[in-house]
Amino acid sequence: MLPEEIIKKVRLIEITTRRMVDDVMSGSYRSHFKGHGVQFSEHRPYVPGDDIRHLDWKVTARTRDPLVKKFEEERELTVFLVVDVSGSTRFSSSRKLKSEVAAEIAGMLAYAAIHTGDKVGLMLFAGEVEHIIPPKKGRQHILRIIREVIAHKPKTKGTDLARAIDGAGRIMKHSGVVFVISDFMATGHDIAMRRLARRHDVVAVRIGDEREAVVPPDGHFIFIDPETGNECFVDTGSFAFKTWLTGAARAMEASFQSGIKGGRIEHLSVKTREDYASAIVRFFKLRSRKKK
């Protein structure tokens, strides 16, 4: 993608996601994720029944009027987007690659977070963690996040989701929200997901494509591994291939389910042909109602 194409794509995502957030999403997002801890807000007159532990004795002595401290929940959160940019995300049977859907979802979540006063950071990973943007606020920061997800080309082969998740846990010093955006076609990340969920709210956003679940017709084909670039001559009608394909699919699904269920992690699955924006809005509205 040429630089001018990237700029146009970033602007388009900005317009689309900002409109969606302004119209319908920010309230659901705000009620879904609450702040961690409380902070002093103001003083107010003491009334019978107030907890005397909240009396501000110094101010009361100075003003000669009993005043209590009023506290409010700290709303500001740190949101971290952990985005898979490995070779398998450069696939689609529709007009949008999985990586493009990931960029748009990241932009939408970033806008929702900053719209409600939260900071947003980004991690891009493939075989290793390849790029990190520390959490910040502001429109230019969001545009940078979208641009990085769209334009980044993986430097490493494969997908090490477990390493990325553990890396996010080390970066997030205080409790926050972590969105893991991936096709989850790797395995062995379930323990890392559960470990991350002990300290943070974790949401797994799984991006898939309908063609990935379609068994190819019998025949002889050359397959190219999008993660490594390796080529392999395959007889798709053979018992060995079908056994391998079924086993690989089951292993990926088992690893994903183990991670989200063991850690009570919330998850959302979208397809490249799907209206993902509406799916995300429904997700937050449903979860915000459950938390009331």
pLDDT (tens digit per residue) in 28-43: 666 666 555 445 567 8
Amino acid at 110: A
d(CA 292, CA 4): 45
pLDDT greater than 70 at residue 74: no
**Residue 186: per-residue pLDDT:** 86
d(CA 266, CA 203): 5
Residue 289's pLDDT band, with cuts at 50, 70 and 90, is: low
pLDDT digits (tens, 9 = 90+) for 213-244: 777 789 998 988 888 888 989 999 999 988 98
Mean pLDDT of the region 191-203: 92
The position carrying tokens 């007889």 is: 235
**Residue 220: per-residue pLDDT:** 92
Residue 2's pLDDT band, with cuts at 50, 70 and 90, is: low
Residue 207's pLDDT band, with cuts at 50, 70 and 90, is: very high
Q: What does the block give as tokens for 204?
A: 């797994």
Residue 143's pLDDT band, with cuts at 50, 70 and 90, is: confident
Do residues 111 and 18 make contact, with C-beta atoms less than 8 angstroms apart? yes
pLDDT greater than 90 at residue 115: no
d(CA 178, CA 144): 18
Residue 3's pLDDT band, with cuts at 50, 70 and 90, is: low
**Residue 132: per-residue pLDDT:** 96
Taking Cα atoms as reference points, which of 272, 247, 255, 258 lies closest to residue 186? 255
* 7: three-class secondary structure by DSSP: helix
Taking Cα atoms as reference points, which of 94, 99, 72 lies closest to residue 9? 99
Domains and CATH numbers, the chain: 3-32+77-291 (3.40.50.410), 38-73 (no CATH)
Give the CA distances from residue 224 to residues 73, 232, 234, 245, in Å, rounded to whole numbers and listed in that order: 52, 6, 10, 15
pLDDT greater than 80 at residue 108: yes
Residue 288's pLDDT band, with cuts at 50, 70 and 90, is: low
Find the helix packing angle between 3-20 and 98-115, rounded to 10°: 50
Mean residue pLDDT of the chain comes to 84
